[in-house]
Structure 1
Amino acid sequence: MKIVAVDVSEAQITYTPEGIQRLAKAIKATLKLRGWSERELHRQMQAAGSTIALGTVNRYAKGRPINPKNEVLREIAPFIYRVVSIDGDSVEVDPSRTYADDWIAFAKIGSTEFSNSNSH
């Protein structure tokens, strides 16, 4: 008998236009600190087994997804540094931690549930 574990919980997150921009800022801050381009992020994701297209990575980094998809955020999250706070265009991150163990916390940056006090 083969036993398979399946995660059936899907985050029901309500994204806002402002939140989608916060997600993009978190991605941009990480890319800047890592010295990566969007293309390099895509390469790193592919090396980890991602099938997300480069164009999709570009849209998320530019804050252009109309309705963010859980599967995309789940695959980007392990590469993004943990956000401590976002104030306008200033993003404070913790480069010693990523969202690898909690993609939902990354996704919530794009939602009404985000606040600077609970982002880390």
Structure 2
Amino acid sequence: MQTVLVVDDEFGVAEVLQSILEDEGYRVVTAINGKQALARLGEFKPDLIMLDYMMPIMDGTHTLKAIRNDAALASIPVIMMSSLDEAAVRETCTGYNSFLRKPFRAVAVLNLVAQLLGSPS
């Protein structure tokens, strides 16, 4: 079973993503900020990370840099999520594989995840 780490400080967003992905057969683990995400990444290696751009404690930009600087994690695909336009995000953040604009539709989430991972196993 493929595992997705969802990192978002908004409980409702994380809960919706978890529901959408679990209904399609993915295993989902959540974290509420980048610091917690890095701790989780010390416990397991997911197949995909869905990372919010704006979060307290450790934001998406700093979290992504830490992931990309760790040889054991650097190859994990990352979907950056934000309510901002992607152009605004790209001014301070690079290195992610795909971008998901909030609010999102379930079909957009599933299409993007399937693009990066294929079908859940």
Above 0.5 in TM-score?
no
Question: Could you tell me the TM-score, scaled by structure 2's length?
Answer: 0.31
Larger Rg: 1
The structure whose RCO (Cα within 8 Å, separation 6+) is larger is: 1
Q: Which structure is higher in strand share?
A: 2
TM-score of the superposed pair, with normalisation by structure 1: 0.31
